[in-house]
């Protein structure tokens, strides 16, 4: 059923006010294809869990909420399982399902908001693991032809918070389902990132299970990141810039504390949070738009901020960081 003038406030984790001219929720592939076939001239905006968008205005045309559900084992061996998950499933529910079944591979990605179908868009990642590490393939519908096409890992061209769906094929496909290749035995744990090891050892765990790792990640995340249900936000607002080693070395002359991470291809990743904090923005607040006091990469809505106000704050951060460090931060969040 198409609903006119639908408020999107409950459909974006920033919690900003915005209205969709029309809104429709889609529950299966047949319905999805029929919808695109019947609406060739209208502007259609695809919506998942709304945790990686900033709505700076009302949306004209149709907002299409993806609500395809289902989790199924499609292939299995004694060592591995391939799980097919429909696009509308909540990502964290999928992680919890895998922990219950003892399927390993996505435990470090616990508590990331959003839906399964969006996970390939920016190759979600956290604590040293990215979706691409467990990604087998996905099926996406070509918006123009309504054909369902198969994408393997190579076709997705995954990069650091990037994929073909965010670049060359932006707005051309709707991801319908994703297959994950997970371990059933001999789980390969990633523990070297951040404080995972410290948290595990503080709990007296020296031989962790995937459930222990997920619990450690959840506890770290809850201690550092604002819960969107309490304080509106979309996670990291900007991507961590990746710059030439030579440029990083030059910056280190003036900023010896500048943290850098080698990306393995002669470049260096710089934590955007450090740049924002050093530019003086950590905890900054302008009206109800602000920069989180514990994590400078997260912009927050203290209540009544509009998307446009948050975007203005983001732009002032971009300008100040560029002036000070010569690096233009690029939004990770999708701006509408
Ligand atoms: P939405 O915000 O609904 O959509 C994002 C974009 O994808 C939009 O452009 C939309 O049109 C498009 N889209 C949505 N569904 C589909 C589909 N099925 N097919 C095609 N296009 C689609 N991200 C990380 O990578 N790592 C983290 O650790 C992380 N932590 C976060 C913590 C918090 C507190 C928050 C609020 C966000 C965090 N994020 C993180 C960002 C976000 O959760 C992820 O990017 C997530 O995958 C977004 O999913 P979503 O369904 O909410 O996407
Ligand atoms: P953190 O652990 O304080 O680290 C700060 C930054 O340094 C991160 O951006 C991280 O890059 C980088 N970093 C830290 N240790 C690293 C290592 N060993 N190798 C390479 N890079 C390293 O970060 P945080 O803010 O608390 O977030 C923890 C994890 O959750 C991070 O992986 C982060 O990406 C993820 N997260 C993502 C979002 C989002 O919306 N995208 C929101 C919250 C948290 P990476 O970002 O590349 O990991």
Q: What is the per-residue pLDDT for 228?
A: 97
**Contact call for residues 197 and 108 (beta carbons, < 8 A):** no
Confirm whether 189 is domain-assigned: no
Strands 44-47 and 59-66: parallel
What domain range includes position 312?
232-335
Determine the 3-state secondary structure of 9 from DSSP.
helix
DSSP 8-state code for residue 71: E
Please report, for the domain that includes residue 166, its CATH number: 3.30.465.10
List ligand 1's pocket residues with C-beta within 6 A. Answer: 13, 46-53, 66, 87, 112-115, 117-119, 121-122, 124-126, 174-175, 225, 228, 233-235, 334
Q: What is the per-residue pLDDT for 265?
A: 87
Ligand 1 center to 190 CA (angstroms) = 23
Q: What is the per-residue pLDDT for 147?
A: 98
- Ramachandran category for residue 25: left, alpha or beta (phi over 0 → left; psi -120 to 50 → alpha): beta
**Contacts (Cβ under 8 Å, ≥6 apart) of 188:** 104, 105
In this predicted model, what pLDDT tens digit does every residue of 168-188 receive, in sequence order?
999 999 999 999 999 999 999
**Contacts (Cβ under 8 Å, ≥6 apart) of 80:** 181, 182, 183, 184
> Do 236 and 331 reside in the same domain of the chain?
yes
Taken in order 163, 48, 174, 3, the sign of the CA dihedral is negative
Determine the 3-state secondary structure of 289 from DSSP.
strand
Q: What is the per-residue pLDDT for 219?
A: 96
> Which of 121, 122, 151, 217 for a ligand 1 pocket mutation test, highest count of atoms within 8 Å of Cβ?
121
Which among 283, 286, 258 is positioned nearest to 272, based on CA atoms? 258
Confirm whether 24 is domain-assigned: yes
In this predicted model, what pLDDT tens digit does every residue of 57-70 receive, in sequence order?
999 999 999 999 99
Q: What is the per-residue pLDDT for 183?
A: 98
- H/E stretch holding 82 reads strand 80-86
Confirm whether 226 is domain-assigned: no
> Do 170 and 251 reside in the same domain of the chain?
no
In this predicted model, what pLDDT tens digit does every residue of 81-134 receive, in sequence order?
999 999 999 999 999 999 999 999 999 999 999 999 999 999 999 999 999 999
Q: What is the per-residue pLDDT for 194?
A: 85
Give alpha helix (H) positions in the chain.
29-38, 91-101, 153-156, 196-202, 210-224, 245-254, 272-278, 307-325
Mean pLDDT value across residues 150-175: 97
The phi, psi pair for 47, rounded to 5°, reads -125, 130
- Last residue within a domain, chosen from 14, 32, 66: 66
> Do 173 and 151 reside in the same domain of the chain?
yes
Give the integer Cα–Cα distance in Å for 156 and 133.
13
Q: Which residues are catalytic?
A: 161, 236, 332
Bridge partners of 83, per DSSP, are 73, 180
> Do 324 and 248 reside in the same domain of the chain?
yes
Question: Minimum-distance ligand to the CA of 140?
Answer: 1
> Percentages helix, strand, coil for the chain, rounded to the nearest 5?
30, 30, 40
Distance of CA 141 to the CA centre of its chain: 21
* Nearest atom of ligand 2 to the alpha carbon of 234: 40
In this predicted model, what pLDDT tens digit does every residue of 230-273 receive, in sequence order?
999 999 999 999 999 999 999 999 999 999 999 988 899 999 99
- Last residue within a domain, chosen from 48, 66, 84: 66
> Which of 194, 214, 227, 330 for a ligand 2 pocket mutation test, highest count of atoms within 8 Å of Cβ?
194
Confirm whether 227 is domain-assigned: no
DSSP 8-state code for residue 204: T
For all residues of the chain together, what is the average pLDDT?
A: 97
Confirm whether 136 is domain-assigned: yes
> Do 61 and 82 reside in the same domain of the chain?
no
Ligand 1 center to 186 CA (angstroms) = 30
**Contact call for residues 33 and 250 (beta carbons, < 8 A):** no
> Do 168 and 247 reside in the same domain of the chain?
no
* Nearest atom of ligand 2 to the alpha carbon of 127: 32
Q: What is the per-residue pLDDT for 284?
A: 98
Confirm whether 194 is domain-assigned: no
DSSP 8-state code for residue 88: T
> Do 117 and 139 reside in the same domain of the chain?
yes
Burial class for 256, CB neighbours closer than 10 Å (0-12, 13-18, 19+): exposed
Determine the 3-state secondary structure of 330 from DSSP.
coil
- Could you count the other beta carbons within 10 Å of the beta carbon of residue 275? 27
Confirm whether 255 is domain-assigned: yes
Give the integer Cα–Cα distance in Å for 271 and 261.
8
> Do 61 and 23 reside in the same domain of the chain?
yes
Q: What is the per-residue pLDDT for 264?
A: 86
List ligand 2's pocket residues with C-beta within 6 A. Answer: 125-127, 193-194, 224-225, 235-236, 240, 261, 269, 271, 273, 295, 332
Structure tokens at 272: 């955007």
Q: What is the per-residue pLDDT for 187?
A: 98
**Widest pairwise Cα distance in the chain:** 60
Please report, for the domain that includes residue 261, its CATH number: 3.90.78.10
Above pLDDT 90, what percent of the chain? 98
Above pLDDT 70, what percent of the chain? 100
């Amino acid at each position: 059923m198409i609903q006119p003038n639908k408020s999107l406030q409950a459909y974006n984790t920033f919690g900003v006010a915005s209205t969709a001219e029309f809104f429709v929720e889609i529950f299966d592939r047949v319905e999805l294809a029929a919808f695109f076939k019947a609406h060739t001239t209208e502007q259609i905006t695809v919506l998942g869990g709304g945790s990686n968008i900033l709505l700076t205005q009302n949306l004209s045309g149709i907002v299409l909420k993806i609500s395809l559900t289902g989790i199924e084992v499609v292939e299995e061996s004694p060592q591995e399982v391939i799980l097919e998950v429909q696009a509308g499933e909540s990502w964290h529910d999928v992680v919890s399902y895998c922990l219950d079944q003892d399927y390993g591979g996505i435990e470090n990605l616990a508590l990331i908001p959003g839906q399964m179908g969006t996970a390939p868009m920016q190759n979600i990642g956290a604590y040293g693991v990215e979706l691409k590490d467990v990604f087998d393939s996905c099926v996406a519908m070509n918006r123009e032809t309504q054909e369902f096409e198969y994408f393997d890992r190579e076709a997705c061209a995954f990069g650091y918070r990037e994929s073909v769906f965010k670049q060359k094929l932006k707005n051309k496909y709707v991801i319908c389902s994703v297959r994950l290749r997970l371990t059933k035995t001999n789980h390969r744990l990633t523990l070297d990132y951040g404080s995972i090891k410290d948290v595990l050892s503080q709990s007296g765990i020296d031989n962790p299970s995937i459930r222990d790792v997920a619990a450690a990640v959840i506890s770290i995340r809850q201690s550092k990141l604002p819960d969107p249900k309490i304080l509106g936000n979309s996670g990291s607002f900007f991507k961590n810039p990746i710059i030439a080693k030579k440029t990083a070395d030059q910056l280190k002359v003036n900023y010896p504390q500048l943290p850098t991470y080698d990306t393995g291809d002669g470049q260096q990743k710089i934590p955007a949070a450090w740049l924002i904090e050093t530019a003086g923005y950590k905890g900054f607040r302008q009206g109800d738009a602000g920069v989180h006091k514990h994590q400078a990469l997260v912009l927050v809505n203290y209540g009544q901020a509009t998307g446009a106000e948050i975007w203005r704050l983001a732009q002032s951060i971009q300008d100040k960081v560029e002036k000070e460090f010569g690096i233009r931060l690029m939004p990770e969040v999708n701006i509408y």
